Structure 1
């Protein structure tokens, strides 16, 4: 599973495809060697359509548990109509798709340039990409895909009500194009990163508790920080013990069982 920088940074369809295949073959080898411990989510060579469709077939042959998509690939954002054939292919059967933010394209120069992109820009890019998916009705058009939205939904829970107001300024927008609330209520979320004490409680107000999944962002998040954040989840009084059990184990197992 590739994070940022994504394999698309090669800016070449052939090289991007080769790199995605190499990454996925390695994941498949580990999964076959340790089938009771390791699964893998296949990376696709976005934004290249034919190459991505071929990689979907290859990954399914290798028993990938799911797929991972970047919020944008060289400036082509999820939800872009050019990516519809890829979504159609993923939708052919029940499929798990994990989203992960990428550095925005283009990235504004000389604005907060000393702050590493993952701290703020990743949140903005997840919010931007998922909103674009809502605008292009991706979640309704491809119901066989279960999406996992990263980092406790980033800023999406905060702007959900605000997005609904967009029709006041643009009456041409259809109801489903601003219905972020339904997406938050039906899709899945990982809780990687610093989601306490504020972010996770806000997400819980708009999402299903059975749709929260533990994640670590390792290895980009150092091991010591992963342990610290995990202990915060384990020890917080903001979550019930039942919810903790769901986040750490039950929800993930149920999701994977449903896709078998």
Structure 2
């Protein structure tokens, strides 16, 4: 358990699964989401109990993978489920505003419904929006999603990106030609996708958002990347250097420009196994400062005992690597500044 001497926490990576969403997942091919054993149980009471036990003052809730667009081509189901989930979260925040906030679900690749939900969820007082790394094979950074990113940028919104199972073909052109997406998970028969594939899909999206010019085109958009950015840090020098040296259908981007973008509009949550090695890879390898890091529990996909164990590792790693003010920033101060003084 987090020791009493450690600061309170704002949790920016935690999930909610109301009963109707659990049922929708089980009824539409996601009874074992991304290879996990089952759809996890969840209730506000369970969540509050975890928060009280571990010194988490507030949780910003989101729907995790597989998101709210559960069946490729079924936009009606996606629209209805997104509205249900966002309305549920808005009601919960309204009842307990000091304990819960929420990221509104946007059901990519249905752009029209996403734009409607941005307007409605903003009226419902959401704290930002959540997108999966890909929607049935359409990846963030594809031109298909330009209207969504332009709208979020115009609102100076906060976007939380969550990984999901990678799919191929991973191009709008292939999909337009009628190729049906298939899971790009060669080791899924051995390991659940969250173990490895989520990190790789996050790395794909970091690369694609910068290489497509989406980040540069949307300077007022604030983005939270999960799990300290996944597997992208050791790849940063490669894809930036490659883009400048090798001719191709892209414009080269300098590594310094990407690093500046991190400091300008990107934050990273610390959900998962961040100590002792991963956090050093992000900070030392990609030049990300402590002011861009925020706490994440990944509850309830990480069970309470797991959240407690990981927080113990984090407390120990924090004390060994950072000063008191830096620890307070990462556990709550950075999130409070990002969300305008949430407490």
**What interval of TM-score do these two structures reach, taking the shorter chain for normalisation?**
over 0.9
How many angstroms does 1:52 deviate by? 0.5
Q: Tell me, which stretches of 5 or more residues in structure 1 are unaligned?
A: none
Q: Deviations over 1:139-187 (max 9, x none)?
A: 1111121000110111121111111221222266423386533333331
Q: Tell me, which stretches of 5 or more residues in structure 2 are unaligned?
A: 1-61, 168-181
Partner of 1:36: 98
**1:254 counterpart = 2:337:** yes
Partner of 1:197: 276
Q: Which moved more, 1:125-134 or 1:175-184?
A: 175-184
Q: Deviations over 1:195-218 (max 9, x none)?
A: 111010121221122110101111
Give the match's secondary structure for 1:8.
Answer: coil
Map 1:100-119 to 2 at 5 A.
100-105=162-167, 106-108=182-184, 110-119=186-195
2:143 is aligned, of 81, 87, 99, to 81
> What TM-score comes out, normalization by structure 2 length?
0.72
Relative contact order (alpha carbons < 8 A, sep ≥ 6): 1 or 2 greater? 2
Partner of 1:185: 263
Partner of 1:157: 233
Partner of 2:118: 56
**1:122 counterpart = 2:198:** yes
Do the aligned partners of 1:79 and 1:133 also contact (CA within 8 Å) in 2? Answer: yes
Do the aligned partners of 1:8 and 1:46 also contact (CA within 8 Å) in 2? Answer: yes
**1:176 counterpart = 2:253:** yes
How many angstroms does 1:258 deviate by? 7.5
What root-mean-square deviation, in Å, do the aligned CA atoms of Structure 1 and Structure 2 show?
A: 1.8
How many angstroms does 1:65 deviate by? 0.5
Give the match's secondary structure for 1:189.
Answer: strand
Partner of 1:5: 66
Q: Which moved more, 1:163-172 or 1:11-20?
A: 163-172
> What TM-score comes out, normalization by structure 1 length?
0.94
Q: More helix by proportion, 1 or 2?
A: 1
Equivalenced residue count is 259
How many angstroms does 1:90 deviate by? 0.9
How many angstroms does 1:239 deviate by? 3.0
